[in-house]
Amino acid sequence: MHSFQELSAQFEERFNVRHFPTHPQTLYDPAQYILGIQGKRIRPVCVYMANELFTPVNDDAYHAGASIELFHNFSLIHDDIMDKAPLRRGMETVHQKYGNNTALLAGDVMFVTAYENLGRISARYLPRSIEIFNKTAKEVCEGQQLDMDFEKMHDVKFDDYLKMITLKTSVLVAASLQMGAVLGGAGLGNQDHLYEFGKNLGIAFQVQDDFLDAFGDASKTGKQQGGDILANKKTFLLIHAREYCSNAANTELDDLIKNNTADKVEKVLQIYKDCKADNWSAELKDKYYNIAIKHLEDVAVLDSRKTELKKLAADLMMREK
């Protein structure tokens, strides 16, 4: 079995090309731009890793991984517009660099290009791959809409937020693993366990992401510290603070949400610390990580073949960016 780094290099060797025409340059250069500020490629490499549990990595795995990575970057372009985010991976976001209208179109053409790659999968596996991709694409959009809806709500329940981040973030990781298993000829039971492994790992990943947005080092995360706080996002941390902090702290939170003062991030972080939301988030992350690992253990292949996926899961939980 290959390590994440080895499979990432294999994927990047094929993926690190220009995916778009050269004309009109004003449309296609912005689309290529976000691919050039490389992310971790977690999702396409998950396709590879799940595929390799059952068969050597094949061309279908590349086409599926490329499709998922293009879709993921499409969603990031549009999410950044909606969130008014200035930075992505330490670089200017597409809309910040090229304007909102161009960014919308660049995202749209990236979505089309994702489908072009998906269509290159072998006929034997194409219908099931399209089914998984379409279901997941809809769910990601549903999750983003719920995220925006929550911005207008005073209180969001934990279970509702959990559903939102499952749709917005986790299902794409889950689908990546499921699709890799399908392309490897895995049975339905193994496909389902890998999906649940990815879904719960994705939830744990998002808990960590919420924490890093608030408490992480901006020089390491590549994002504006407290971006979720400034955007009044209903994160795990805010939901916990609302439930467990004093009435006075909740009143202060109301005032801070209404007013973007210069010290807003600092004051909200102090409230989080006072009600131990930072410690609670670590416990929550561990809960979903352990559920994920249990599903991975139930995949019916030799334990030695799962070592690299277990290592990836552990590394994601220790990340600082």
Q: If DSSP states are collapsed to H, E and C, what string results for 121-186?
A: CCCCCHHHHHHHHHHHHHHHHHHHHHHHHHHCCCCCCHHHHHHHHHHHHHHHHHHHHHHHHHHCCC
Provide the 10 A C-beta neighbour count for residue 309.
Answer: 25
Q: What are phi and psi of 88, to 5 degrees?
A: -140, 120
Q: Structurally, what CATH architecture does the domain formed by 4-317 represent?
A: Orthogonal Bundle (1.10)
Whether 321 has a pLDDT exceeding 70, the answer reads: no
CA distances from 100 to 17, 90, 96 (A): 25, 19, 7
pLDDT band at 307 (very low <50, low <70, confident <90, very high): very high
Q: What is the pLDDT of residue 90?
A: 82
Q: Is the pLDDT of residue 219 over 70?
A: no
Distances (CA, A) of 116 to 29, 64, 112, 139: 18, 10, 6, 20
pLDDT higher than 90, residue 200: yes
Q: What is the pLDDT of residues 268-292, one digit of tens each?
A: 999 999 999 989 999 999 999 999 9
What is residue 22's predicted lDDT score, i.e. its pLDDT? 95
> What are 71-95's pLDDT values in tens digits?
999 999 999 999 888 888 889 999 9
50: pLDDT strictly greater than 90:
yes
Residue 222 has pLDDT above 70, yes or no: no
Measured CA to CA, the distance from residue 210 to residue 215 in angstroms comes to 9
Can you give the residue ranges of every domain in the chain?
Answer: 4-317
Identify the band that residue 154 occupies on the pLDDT scale cut at 50, 70 and 90.
Answer: confident
Whether the predicted pLDDT of 217 surpasses 80: no
Average pLDDT over residues 220-241: 83
What digits encode the pLDDT tens for the residues 135-147? 999 999 999 999 8
When the pLDDT of each residue in the chain is averaged and rounded to a whole number, the result is 93
Q: Rounded mean pLDDT of 168-186?
A: 97
Looking at residue 227, what is its pLDDT? 83
| Of the listed ranges 131-140, 196-205, 254-263, the one predicted with least confidence | 254-263
In this predicted structure, the answer to whether residue 51 has a pLDDT above a threshold of 90 is: yes
State the pLDDT at residue 39.
80
Phi first, then psi: give them for residue 91, nearest 5 degrees: -120, 165
* Omega prior to 24 cis, within 30 of 0: yes
Long-range contact pairs involving 309-312 (C-beta distance under 8 Å, separation at least 24): 309/49, 309/50, 309/53, 309/197, 311/3, 311/4, 312/4, 312/42, 312/45, 312/46, 312/49
**187: exposed, middle or buried (Cβ count in 10 Å: 0-12, 13-18, 19+):** exposed
Comparing 69-78, 87-96, 234-243, 312-321, the range with the smallest average pLDDT is: 312-321
